[in-house]
Amino acid sequence: MSHAGRPVIAVTSGEPAGIGPDVCLALADGAASLPVRVVVLGDRNLIEERARQLGRSAAGLEIVHIPLRVPARAGRVDPANAPYVLELLDRALAGCQSGEFAAMVTAPVHKGVINDAGIPFTGHTEYLAEKTGTPRVVMMLSGGGLNVALATTHLPLKEVPAAITRAELTATLRIVDADLRGKFGIARPRILVAGLNPHAGEGGHMGREEIDVIAPVIEALRAEGLDLAGPLPADTLFTRRVLAGSHAQVAMYHDQGLAVLKYVAFEDGVNITLGLPVLRTSVDHGTALDLAGTGQADAGSLFAAVTMAAGIVARQP
């Protein structure tokens, strides 16, 4: 878990045709200032080739070599490399579970091409939960002063209401509270909870999810000592006055919360999976195939993800 007194953080380089290898190269210089040792998991030849393409050097990058299945070209996905992408995740996870790594940080993958390879895949969050046997995890993105957690993640909108049950929402809010305490060192987190419907249901005139599910869950958890506010109309939850004094915000579905966060922090936002038995952070953006190999990819989010992981590791006893 440490090397010469420094914890080791594994960074998976993600989809080989995307910007993952590009932004990982930026760690050769930037990570040197962190109190951790950063190792990149990926195909050494791919990363060195991308470095030459960008006019950079990979000399300062420590690479755990995992070979591609077939050669990769920037901007051109190939389903044949889907098993390689998942092998990166499996290797990082195994290292975290064994104590070799203190945390894993993930560059973006391309969900579509993994599914095109015949491998059902909805995202890092769900994949790692299944691999670790974790019944419930929570996706939270941080940046711009916000910590936005999601009650549901990658679902079609029409499936969201049925997925918001008392049991699921209760589990989500407990996980957010517990990890804000344990990972972020916040003694009593204040959590704002959005409603599902416009105007938080307008007293039942625009939907009953707030009355039947969200409000009862909040009331029950307040009785347990959690500091929760809501259900709040999502269109005003993210205003400065309402946000004041809060530590996290829980949105009912993906775009309800992440559209706001990515507006204020797209280049340096961080995705963290709460509830896992290992520490995992990630970039908040996709593979950006059109930018791969062009030198235009911004590494800010990856560096922020590594920095967050390093900070959380440093706070652990």
Amino acid letter, 7: P
- Residues 107 and 265: their CA atoms lie apart, in Å, by 17
Query: Global pTM?
Result: 0.91
Comparing 68-72, 212-216, 239-243, 312-316, the range with the smallest average pLDDT is 312-316
Q: What is the pLDDT of residue 1?
A: 44
Cα 8 to Cα 250: distance, rounded to the nearest angstrom: 31
> Rounded CA gap, 317 and 315, in Å?
6
The residues with which 149 forms a beta bridge, in sequence order, are 140, 250
| Residue 255 pLDDT | 96
Six token digits for residue 222: 């307040």
pLDDT at position 28, please?
Answer: 86
123: left (phi over 0), alpha (psi -120 to 50) or beta: left
The answer to whether 297 and 74 have CB atoms below 8 angstroms apart is no
Same fold across 1-134+276-317 and 138-271: yes
Write down the pLDDT at residue 317: 75
Q: What's the chain's average pLDDT?
A: 95
pLDDT value, residue 2: 45
Sorted by where each begins, the domain ranges of the chain are 1-134+276-317, 138-271
Is the per-residue pLDDT at 173 higher than 90? yes
Bridge partners (DSSP) of residue 37 are 8
Contact 124, 86 (CB under 8 A): no
Q: Residue 317 and residue 241: Cα distance in Å, rounded? A: 35
- Over the stretch 239-297, which tens digit does the pLDDT of each residue have? 999 999 999 999 999 999 999 999 999 878 899 999 999 999 999 899 999 999 999 99
Average pLDDT over residues 3-11: 83
The neighbouring-strand residues paired with 278 are: none
State the Cα–Cα distance between residues 230 and 138, nearest whole angstrom.
19
> Pairing state of beta strands 270-274 and 280-283?
antiparallel
Report the pLDDT value the prediction gives residue 4, as an integer from 0 to 100. 55
Query: What class, spelled out in words, does domain 1-134+276-317 have in CATH?
Result: alpha beta
Question: What number of CA atoms fall less than 13 Å from residue 130's CA on the CB side?
Answer: 11
- pLDDT, residue 290, reads 96
pLDDT in tens, 29-66: 777 788 899 999 999 999 999 999 999 989 889 999 99
- CATH architecture group of domain 138-271: 3-Layer(aba) Sandwich (3.40)
- In the predicted model, what is the mean pLDDT of residues 142-163? 95
Q: What is the pLDDT of residues 144-154, one digit of tens each?
A: 999 999 999 88
Tokens of 33: 């200032």
Tokens of 94: 């195994």
| 47 within 8 A of 88, measured Cβ to Cβ | no
Percent of the chain residues past pLDDT 90, beyond the cut: 89
